[in-house]
Structures are given as structure tokens and as C-alpha cells.
Structure 1
Amino acid sequence: MELNDQPKKHVEVVNNSQHKAVEDTNNVLMKHSNRGGWTTFPFILGCMFAIALATGGWVGNLIVYLITKYNVKSIDATQIINVVLGCFFLFPIPGAILADSFYGPFIVVVVFSIVSLVGMTLMTLTAAFPSLRPSPCTNMSLPCESPSKLQYGVLYTILGLTCIGFGGTRFTTATMGADQFKDPNSVATYFNWYYCALYVAGAISSTAIVYVQDNVSWTLGFGISAASNLIGVILFLSGTKFYQRIKPTGSPFTSIARVIVAAVRKRRVSSRNHEFNYDIDDKSNTSPSDSFRFLNRGAIKIESDGQKSKSWSLSSVQEVEDLKTLIRIMPLWSSSVLLSGLVGMFNNFIILQALAMDRHLGGSNFKIPAASFLFFNTLATAISLFIIDRFIFPVWKKLNGSPLTPLQRIGVGHVLNVLGLVLAGIIEVQRLHTARSHNLIGISTGMTSVVPFPALWLVAPLIVVGISEGFLFPGQILLYYQEFPTSLRGTSTAMVSLLVAVGFYLSTGITSLIRKSTAWLMNDLNDGRLDIVYWLLAAIGVVNFGYFLICAKMFQHKLDKYDDNMDNTSSS
């Protein structure tokens, strides 16, 4: 009896073991399937908020730091800032490429945020140790001491580290957050909250941290930014077990290059009566689109291709269509480059205007820091994002039967930006009129004399430009995220950063051209004509808006079908 029971017991043990193994496997699968979603939201958004706070505390008052602590002339300081911001918005591109192609966004965010932490720590040391800066400029009748080559070298090294760190983190975090959601509506909501938190952090840093830097201590102000950066790293790492990680599949740019090479090699092959090469998971076998037909040759199968499904002489139809998508969207992208340059010049000139105006709040002794005026810009953007998401979108959809498209949002941003430049020009006319009436023109001492004209007038154009950014940049990032190939999702969000970077470099060129050709931009604003510069920028904005309308009219969305609520069913 006992001998006969042993096989049964053995079978029961085996069955129990198999059942436990299946159960353990199901638990693992369930554990991984539960990753992502809104559970990751506090960690990713908290990290982004903390690092954005550190970024604002670093770059928001940098122009004043260069003028007051490094004795850099005002217009030269704006040129340095343009280059710094250009680099800051350029580095998200290599960050996105590394995330998409090699390491994934998680590793990229961790490494780049640590680099930014090193940069911020070193920046704090420049404020703490006077030997790292030139001697203070106390006698205004004598030229101020310029930074030595060593001091400039240390400064530029620190600026490079912070640009690489903050730049590489900024939009890679955005992409990783979007990758946590499968529902398109959740992705759109996430991007709205992302930008809202981004601008709220900017508003806090441009007021609280800037005030500490101007009125308490630069060392403490930069130290707060470094501490915020450290908190961001800790928050991000705290959510490690909740993240859904998408493994990179190799460089998508290789497939783009392969399409071009294959199409050139087969330039003499007719695209008719040939079989095309399709991806394994492409069940539709739809013929390539008719646009940019020359590229279709890259996917034509001929005898010399052999058995290889992908090579430098043969691409898939999907790879061809991905490249066409990039080509179609580039004119639209270019229409926002100049606009980004105008925004950068506006922000720099507003700070210089504020330095030359009465910044006292009412009749009190409290004086608003010049860089803190950008708070009204970021606050207006943050509030407008909430109003757009909660009120304008529902009302627009109710009245028109369709949602406000990304292209429509971008168009509104163009118009409001021009209006903001016009308002800034009008205020500068009044400021110069007050300067003349107080005989403050023609007495330049190397720095702009303060005109008794309330700087709070600058709030009006700052609010208008802030609202324009609430329409412009979220519309841009959503458009690119929708239209770019899936393999380039990380690069798609970084494209917004790239256009801002190119815009800042372009604004540096425009500023230099104006300085060489005219006397409108002077280190003493009272001796220049900044108002004419604003009229010129507004005119450029109008012409650029016309170019945008042409690009939007000609733009064709990619062939994939989106959810109706993804705001991409129309081109204008």
C-alpha cells in the first residue's frame, strides 16, 4: 500500500512544483505588466520639477551674475547667454539619440542629472571664492577689470557641464514619462502637466532663488539650486521599480541613412512592376506612398539583393515612410526656429530694460530683481496651460465639433508672440521719452542710467509672450511626438529643444548684425534705440508667421491613424 502510494505522492509533488512555477511566472508577468502608468507620475514629474527649479536658479539670473560679478558689458552678456542657452537646448539631441539607440532613457536621465549636479556644485564655488572672479568694479570712472583667461576657462567649463547635464535630462525625462502610458489621451494630459510643472518651477526659481541671489548671497542661491538638483536625482531613483523601460533597438538613424543609400544605388531601377520589401510585422503590404517617390526605390527587391531583408542596398517600406515623415515635417519645424530666436532676444532685452527702469514695488523700498520679471512670463505660461486644458479645449471642441489641433495651437503662439514684441516696443518708446525729459541721454558712464519709469509696465508684454508659449511649445512637442516614427520618439520631443537651440544661435547672429550695422543696441540703453529693434523683430515675426501658414497648408500627416482625441486630424 505504501509502495503504491509513492508514485502518487511523487506526481503530486511534481504537479505542485509545476503549479508553483507557473504561479511564480504569472506573478512576475503581472508585476511587470503593472509597471508604468500614473504610478510613475510623481517620481518622474517630481524629478523634472526639482531639476527645472535648479535650472532656473542657474540660468535665470546668469546675465546679472555676469554683469555684476564678472564685469561683462550688458550686450556682450546677452551674447554669452544666447550661446549658453543655445548649448543648453542643443544637448537634448545627443541625449535623445543615446536614449533611443543605446542605453534607454533611464540610464541617460541618471547620468546627465549627475553631470548637472557636478556643474551646479562648481558654480556655487565660483560665488563662494572671490579668486575665481575678477575684482569688483567699485570706481565707475575707471574701466572695470575683465576676467582672466583662467577665470574665463573655469567659467566656461562650468557652463559646459551644466548645459550638458540639464540639457541631456530635460526632454529625455519628457519622453520617458510619455512612454509610461499606452492611452493617447493620457499622453496628451501628461505633456500638459509636464509643461505646467516646468513653468511653475521656472516661476519659483525666477522669484525666490533670484531674490536670494540678488539680496542675500549668490553662494546660497546657487547652493539651493544644487540641492534641488540632488533632490531630483533621489526622487527619480526612488521610482526605479515602478518604471516601464523600453529597450533601445539600435540607432534609428542608421535605417534612415540606409534608405538614402539604397535609393541612390537603385536610382536607375523603375519602381513599377517590382516587389517591395516589408517588415515582418507589417501585415498590410500597402504600397509606399506617392510622395518623394525617388525614396521608394530603396525598398524595391531585385535579384542582386539576395536573401537579406535589410542592408545598405535594401530597406523596408516602413523605413522609407519613416524618412518621408521626417522630410515632410522639417519645413514646419524650421518655421518655429526663428520664432524661438525672437523669444530668446525678447527675454534678454526685457532684463536689460528692467535694469534701466524703476523696479521699486509701489512706494516701498523693496526692489524687484531684474531677472525676476521673467516670473510673470513663466507664471502666465503655467496659468494659460491650465486654462487651455480645462476651458479652451472643451469649449473649442463643443463649438467646432473637433479638438484644437497642434498646428492651430502653434499658429496662435505665433500671433501672440508678435503682439508681445509690439507691446515691448511701445513701452521702450515711453521709457526713452522719460529718459529725455530727465536729461539721461548722452551721459553714458558705461552702464545704463536708471530712468524713473515704472518697470511694472513690462508685465504686460511678458504676460502676452508667456501665453504664446503656452500655446506654442506644448503644441510643438505633441505634434512631433505624434508624427515622428516610433523609433524616434525620444528624438521627437528633443526636436523642440533643437529648434530653441538653433533659435538662440540665430538670435546671436541677428544681435551681432544689428550692432555692426546700426547704433540701436548700445551698452547704455538710453543712448540706443531698443524700440526700433522691437519693431524690427515684430516685422520678422509677421513674415515668419506667413511662412508658417504656407508650411501648415502643405503639411501632410503621416499615414498612421490616430485616436480622434489626439488633436492631429487637421493641418491648420
Structure 2
Amino acid sequence: MALISSEDETSMYVLLETKGEDSVLYTKDGTVDYLNNPANKLKTGNWKACFFIVATASLERLAYYGMSSNLLLYFTGELDQHSATASRNLSNWTGACYITPLFGAFLADGYIGKYWTIASSSILYAIGMALLTLSASAYGLLSSFFSTDVFDASEAQTVMCFTSLYLVALASGGIKACISAYGADQFDDDDKTEKKVKSSFFNWYYQMMNIGTLIAHSLIVWVQDYVSWIWGFGIPTLAMTVGVVSFFSGTWFYRNHKPAGSPLTRLFQVVVASVRKRRVNVPTDALLLYEIADANSTTVRSRKLNHTSNFSFFDKAAVETPSDHAKGSVNPWTLCTVTQIEELKSVLRLLPIWVTGIVFSSVRSQMDNLFVLQGSFMDTQVGKTSFKIPPASLGTFGTLSVIFWVPVYDQIIVPLARKLTGHPNGLTQLQRIGTGHFISIFSMLSAGILEVIRLEIVKRHGYYEIKPVPISIFWQVPQFLIIGCAEVFTLVGQMEFFYEQVPGSMKSLGSALRLTTIALGNYTSSLLVSIVIKVTTEDGGPGWIPDNLNYGQLQNFFWLLAALSGVNLAIFVVVAKWHTGPLG
């Protein structure tokens, strides 16, 4: 362990005198520094470490949205895909970006830790972005090698494009699963002052991520539409490269948790042991269930958890039988501790809340999907100038809404709600999430009403073959502002909720679970589009979402999402009342 300098000792004594007994030189949560020594609270963690983490997250968001915000128009314009096909491809790719965090969490929590998961994923991410940029500039090169009679250059470009996109999707899993949890790890839960600050961290972390998103929706989208796709993808690639440098620059300040072994393995062990002992009776006295005698849990970074009565079937895994000790050592696939069982129960208690996030994510995904398609059929000219705003740039207003509402929530809503509810965070995490679900309904209603008005203009003046229709794209602003407000409540609430409600050894898994709702939301959107196309075109008509929206009924799709959101909100209220957990 490194020696403490006299300057450090002086700082330590000042800290102890000003903050009392809760302040010590080293963290109490078991974190270590980059040399694997106990983390010094004066030199590591807190905001000085979070600066580099948040900078990396913001640059990754710039890269991600700089790439994804305009992909729908890239697919239709550059790769010649039909509107519905492009929408499905975008939803499927976005879903992949948010399903791979399960793999990232598996690596981080179980084997290599969050630091190395983020580091390696960031490098792979930058490589994938570079390949995407190359694919955008490769048409002329590819046309020299491929015969148009067999496999033309556009097909080769499509293959190269999707190969690079799915490489990015794989890499993004490591970053998305770990980056917010790694930032939260920089605050010691056993220090009352740091624990209080951590709640604000999630708000400001999300705020800074949206700075990157704002640049992507404005500057980068404009470059893609009016300069070139090469530069449009090249700038996000450069941003991701800077993000890699930023992350490594903070190495000396980070607090790191040692990996605790695969949480998924421990969860499966409980399931298997319970099934094997399905005929065993569980004793009425929970003290008779198997638990180690030591004061600590066998799992690294996880305290012993008290027994709970729900999901009692899995308690069978902790019932000791003579065969469990026949070979001298305990087989974890036949006998599990109470703490291990409670880890599984904590995940199961999250699932109903997790399911309700899927519809919200389907609604939110329209910002980069059908909202962009809708905007492409509207007048993009700004006033009487010659400047035209790219349809994907309207996402800027969603980002501005987030940037506005984060400080309003943190500085105004929380203090006011705290006086009314007495809760230290003003609203409970579930109340915050539910509020966002409610607000999101109005975004779909706003988008649907606008489409009704747009189609009425088309019908009245016979503008069916006219693109754009003479109605300003800025009428889309309300739907973006509303969904941005909903994000601050639901997504930030989910971020904190899923981090807090799982044991210390499963923090990355908790973050990954939250992100899978975004993945499934995009897959749900893709599925709904496929169903709608099939059902609404059976009579030979154009359907709800044709290539030419002037012949379609896109508003009906928005009404469908609004109705699903209303049903989802009702279900959320029920499951939120049912939910029990450390924060309730």
C-alpha cells in the first residue's frame, strides 16, 4: 500500500474534523484504485473521477446519435430501402444495441470488471464507427470490383454498412451496461454525504449525455444532409476516438470494484437447485435455511440478505438434506445460501416494472424513426431564408427539453415534493417513472393530431404527389418536447431504480436489465410496423405506412401507441403498488 504524504495526512484530519465520524481516509465499500490498493477517498472517486466517465458517456452519445438519428433516411436515400423496411431495420439494429448490454454486464460483473469492459468496448466501438465511415465512401471503390450483373456495389455497400453497424451494437453493450453504474461506483454508499450526492449524479449524468445528443441532432445531422455522409459519419467517429482517450485519462482517479463472479451463474444455480428439490418441504422457521456462518456473504461486494417470504418456491434451494454434505463440500447446484436466493428474488421483483418499460421505449424510439419519416414530408425551410433544417434535427428539441427539465426537476420539483411527501428524493423512484409514463401518452397524441392536420392539407389541395407538403416541420416541436420531459422522469428514474434495487455484486446486470427494455421496445415497434403493414395492405391499399405518407394513415399508428401507453400506465400503477424492495 502506498505511503501517505504529510499533505495527505493534513487533508485527512481536516476532513475528519469537518465531517465527523462518517469520514475516513479509505472507502468502506471495498473499492480499490488502479494499483489494486484500497481506494483513497481524497485522491479517487467522487466528481473528479466522474468528470472523465461523464465526458466519455457524452462523447459516446454524440457518436451514437450522430450515427443513428439519420439512419432511416440513409437507408431509404443511400441504400434504396423502402420506408417500412428501413424502419424495421433501424428498430432491429437499435434493439441489438440495447440487448448486448446483457453480455457486457456478464463480463463486467463476473470476470473483467467495469473498467476493462468499458475500455475494450470503447476501442471496438471506435473501430466499428471507422468502418461505417469507410462504407459511406466505398461506393466508387466497390464499383470497381463488383459486377452489376452479379453483386453490385450498392449491395456490397449495404453489407459493409450493416457489418459495421452490428459491430458497433456489440461494442455498445459493454459501454451501456457499465458506464452509468461505473459512475455511481465512484460514490461510497457507506458515506452518508457521498450517498446523498449520488442521487444527483444520475440527473447530471443524464444531462451531460444529452449535450452530446444535442450536437448530434443539430450539427452532425445537418452535415449528413447538406455536406456528405462521409463527414457525417466521420465526425462521430472522431468523437468516439476522443471518448476513448478521455476514459483512459481518468484511470488514476477511478474507484474499482473487483468482479464477483458471474451473477447469472448464481441465479441459475438457485433455479436448478430449487427444481431438483421441488418435492422438499420448506421449514416454517427461516433460520433453518442454509446460510454461511460468517458475518459476510460468500459473494464479493454483496452483504448478507435477509429472508423474504415471496417466491417461496426458490427457498427449497436452501433446504439442507443429508446428500448435500455427502461428498464433504457443498455443491452450489444443489444447495444455495439464503443470500443467493434473495439475489434471484430481487431480480424477479424487478421484472414487472421492467416489462412496463417496453411500451415506453417503443414510444420513445419514434423520435429517431417515424417522427423523422413524418418530418421528411413537411416543409423544412426556416422562415424566408434558404436554410432548410434536416428532419432528424427536430430531435434537438427533445434533447433541449431534457436539458431544461433535469435542473428543474433537481432544483425545483424535488425540494417542493420533499416538503409534500417527506421523501428524501421528493418522489419515490416508482412515482417518478410512472409520471413519465403518463406524460409520454401526450407525445403520441400530439404526433397523431399533427398527422391528421397534415393529411387534411394534402386532401384539400390534392398534394398527394407533393413532397414536402406546405406545413412547417416546426409543428413537430411539441411532440419532441413532451417526450423529452417524459424521459427525465422515466429514464432517469429507471436508471437509479435498477441500480439501487439489486445487490452490490449485480450493479452492471441491473443497468443492463434497464437497457433491455429499450431493446425490446424497438423490437416491439418493429413488430408492430410489420403487423400493421400486413394487416392494412391486405386489400391492396397503401396501408398506414406507405413509402409516400401522403397516401397513408400514419396517425393511426400513433393512436395505437397512445392506447398501448394508456394500458401500460394502468398496469404500471398496479405492479408499482405490488412491488416490494429495499427502496419500495
2:469 & 2:322 partners in 1: Cα distance?
79
Q: In structure 1, what is the equivalent of residue 510 of structure 2?
A: 492
* DSSP-derived class of the 1:278 partner: coil
How big is the shift at 1:31? 6.7
* Letter in structure 2 aligned against 1:40: A
Which secondary structure does the structure 2 equivalent of 1:494 belong to? Answer: helix
Pair 1:292-2:311 in alignment: yes
Deviations 1:55-91 (A, max 9, x none): 1211111112222221222222111110110111111
Q: Mapping of 1:356-367 within 5 angstroms?
A: 356-367=377-388
Report the CA distance between 1:147 and its aligned residue: 6.7
CA–CA distance in 2 between the matches of 1:436 and 1:304? 78
SS of 1:469 mapped into structure 2 = helix
Query: 1:1-400 residue pairs with structure 2 within 5 A?
Result: 32-33=40-41, 34-131=43-140, 148-182=154-188, 183-272=194-283, 275-279=288-292, 280-282=294-296, 288-306=307-325, 307-309=328-330, 311-345=332-366, 347-400=368-421
Find the counterpart in structure 2 of residue 564 from structure 1.
none
Task: Identify if the C-alpha distance between structure 1 residues 285 and 319 changes in structure 2 by more than 3 Å, giving closer, same or farther.
Answer: closer
CA contact (8 A) 2:122 2:171 kept: yes
Q: How many aligned positions are there?
A: 527
Paired residue secondary structure (1:245): coil
Residue 520 of structure 1 and its aligned partner are, at CA, apart by: 1.3
CA distance in 2, matches of 1:488, 1:123: 33
| 1:422 aligns with one of 442, 445, 452 | 445
5 Å-filtered alignment, 1:526-537, equals 526-537=550-561
Distance of 1:264 and 1:90 partners within structure 2: 28
Separation in 1 of the partners of 2:533 and 2:339?
A: 49
* SS of corresponding position for 2:471: strand
Aligned to 2:580, the other structure's residue is in SS state: coil
Deviations 1:243-285 (A, max 9, x none): 1111102111121111122222222222226722224235999
Matched residues in 1 for 2:117 and 2:38: separation? 27
CA contact (8 A) 1:126 1:132 kept: no
Classify 1:80/1:428 alpha carbon distance in 2 versus 1 (closer, same or farther; 3 Å): same
CA contact (8 A) 1:96 1:494 kept: yes
What one-letter code is carried by the residue in structure 1 that aligns with 2:288? E
In structure 1, distance between residues paired with 2:555 and 2:68: 26
AA partner of residue 351 (structure 1):
V
Call closer, same or farther: CA 1:102–1:423 in 2, change over 3 Å: same
Post-superposition shift, 1:116? 1.0
1:482–1:285: structure 2 CA closer, same or farther, 3 Å change rule?
A: closer
**Superposition map of 1:538-557 within 5 A:** 538-557=562-581
- Where does 1:476-487 land on structure 2 (aligned, <5 Å)? 476-487=494-505
Shift in Å, 1:343: 1.9
Residue 536 of structure 1 and its aligned partner are, at CA, apart by 1.6
- CA separation of 1:532/1:154 partners in 2, compared to 1, >3 Å: closer, same or farther? same
In structure 1, the partner of 2:544 is 520
Displacement after TM superposition at 1:291 (Å): 0.9
Q: SS of 1:71's equivalent? A: coil
**CA spacing shift, 1:517–1:382, aligned 2, 3 Å:** same
Alignment partners' CA distance in 1, 2:213 and 2:453: 29
Matched to 1:281, the amino acid is A
The CA deviation at 1:401 is 2.1
**2:429 equivalent to 1:406:** yes
Please give the alpha-carbon distance, in whole angstroms, between the structure 1 residues aligned to 2:4 and 2:198. 36
Q: Is the 8 A contact 2:63 2:239 kept in 1?
A: yes
SS in structure 2 at match of 1:452: strand
Per the alignment, residue 7 of structure 1 pairs with: none
2:559 is matched by which residue type in structure 1? W
* CA shift in 2, pair 1:22/1:128, >3 Å: closer
Deviations 1:73-119, CA, capped at 9 Å, x for gaps: 22221111101101111112211110000000111111111111111
- CA shift in 2, pair 1:65/1:130, >3 Å: same
Q: Which moved more, 1:280-289 or 1:90-99?
A: 280-289
Instruction: Specify the code of the residue in structure 2 equivalent to 1:550.
Output: V
Query: What is the Cα deviation at residue 151 of structure 1?
Result: 2.7
Q: CA deviation at 1:36?
A: 1.9
Counterparts of 2:4 and 2:446 in 1: how far apart (Å)?
70
TM-score, length-scaled by structure 2 = 0.85
Give the fraction of aligned pairs with identical amino acids, expressed as a percent.
Answer: 33
In 2, the alpha carbon distance for the partners of 1:310 and 1:345 equals 49
Q: Which has the larger radius of gyration?
A: 1
How much has 1:390 moved relative to structure 2?
1.1
Q: Secondary structure of 1:336's partner?
A: helix
Residues 92 and 498, structure 1, Cα contact 8 Å, conserved in 2: yes
Structure 2 residues not aligned, in runs of 5+:
9-24, 27-34, 145-150, 189-193, 298-302, 537-542
In structure 2, give the amino acid aligned to 1:380: S
2:369 match: secondary structure: helix
Question: For residue 32 of structure 2, what is the aligned residue in structure 1?
Answer: none
Q: Which residue does 1:139 correspond to in 2?
A: none
Residues 409-488 of structure 1 correspond to what in structure 2 (within 5 A)? 409-441=432-464, 443=465, 449-488=467-506
SS of 1:177's partner is helix
Aligned counterparts of 2:38 and 2:488: Cα–Cα separation in 1: 39
1:15 is matched with: none
TM-score by length of 1: 0.87
What code does the residue aligned with 2:319 have? I
